[in-house]
Amino acid sequence: MSTRIESRFKACATEGRAALVTFVTAGDPDYETSLALLRALPAAGADIIEFGVPFTDPMADGPVIQAAGLRALKAGQTLARTLEMVRAFREGDDATPIVLMGYYNPVYIYGVERFLADARAAGVDGLVVVDLPPEEDSELCLPALAAGLDFIRLATPTTDDRRLPAVLANTAGFVYYVSITGITGAATAIPSLVGQAVARIKRHTSLPIAVGFGVKTPEGAAAIAAGADGVVVGSALIDALRATLDSEDRATPATIPAVTGLVGKLAAAVRAVRRQAAE
């Protein structure tokens, strides 16, 4: 049986296009709004959802995603509630892959085995854990694979050819290429360099490659989509969300439409680009 992630990338490839991967932070700005947004993302054009697990000290994230995590925590978000949201989402959508993205400590404290069982039962498909490089695979990566969850690894511009095989060894689902050296939402990815990097990684793996960290606009997404299997957009969506909040960081009627509106534009841009014969 193929996984949701495999099926979705295959379906996009059949359409001759890249997948749009959207990142939002679980519980931002509150549980109800965030769940409603999660439910609205597929119809707006998201192919895969990366759901950010809030953490107090997100050392790879820029100010936009940091602030989203703190808003969620302030509103009472926990890892258990994030899993609860995925479970609620799965009641109405059994096809859209959900990847949890975050840092190791909340998972470690929840308990690795218990987390993997609960995440799988909730309908989580994959994990991106920023502070677990291959050197720490025994912590979560290997147990996750054994539990049937994809452990999606980050490859970066500093991951050279010598290191790539180790990075790819236990990677499953797809490879997340971090297009810049830097934090989320900072610099802008340069499409020509990204294309070269994707081609380089493709020489080492047959997994799909999604590109993120420096993609901000529909035009930028389209440029990346020409040379990758997926495009990840996060900070730009959260920026759009934040702009609609009231002075006390509460959701307004404009909150969900602002995000889904931008997702729609990103999806249209990505879908308009026919994949070059990269494969």
Residues with catalytic annotation?
50, 61
Selection from 114, 136, 130, 141 nearest residue 57 by Cα: 130
The amino acid at 210: A
**What is the distance between the alpha carbons of residues 134 and 78, in angstroms, rounded to a whole number?**
26
Burial of 58 per CB tally in 10 Å (0-12, 13-18, 19+): buried
Q: Which CB sits closer to other proteins, 147 or 186?
A: 186
- Is it true that the peptide bond before 257 is cis, omega within 30 degrees of 0? no
Q: Please report how close the Cβ of residue 114 comes to other proteins at its closest, in angstroms.
A: 13
Q: Which CB sits closer to other proteins, 59 or 193?
A: 59
Q: Which CB sits closer to other proteins, 24 or 155?
A: 155
**What is the distance between the alpha carbons of residues 78 and 59, in angstroms, rounded to a whole number?**
19
Q: Please report how close the Cβ of residue 22 comes to other proteins at its closest, in angstroms.
A: 21
- Report the DSSP pairing between strands 154-155 and 209-212: unpaired
Selection from 270, 201, 268 nearest residue 231 by Cα: 270
Contacts of 219 (CB under 8 A, 6+ apart): 269
The conformational region for residue 76 under phi > 0 = left, psi -120 to 50 = alpha, else beta, is: left
Q: Please report how close the Cβ of residue 68 comes to other proteins at its closest, in angstroms.
A: 12
Encoding tokens for residue 115? 């987390």
Q: Please report how close the Cβ of residue 160 comes to other proteins at its closest, in angstroms.
A: 7
Q: Please report how close the Cβ of residue 223 comes to other proteins at its closest, in angstroms.
A: 22
**What is the distance between the alpha carbons of residues 39 and 76, in angstroms, rounded to a whole number?**
20
**Residues that bind other proteins in the complex, under the rule CB under 8 A:** 54-60, 62-63, 66, 70, 73, 78-80, 103-110, 130-136, 153-160, 163, 167, 178, 181-183, 186-187
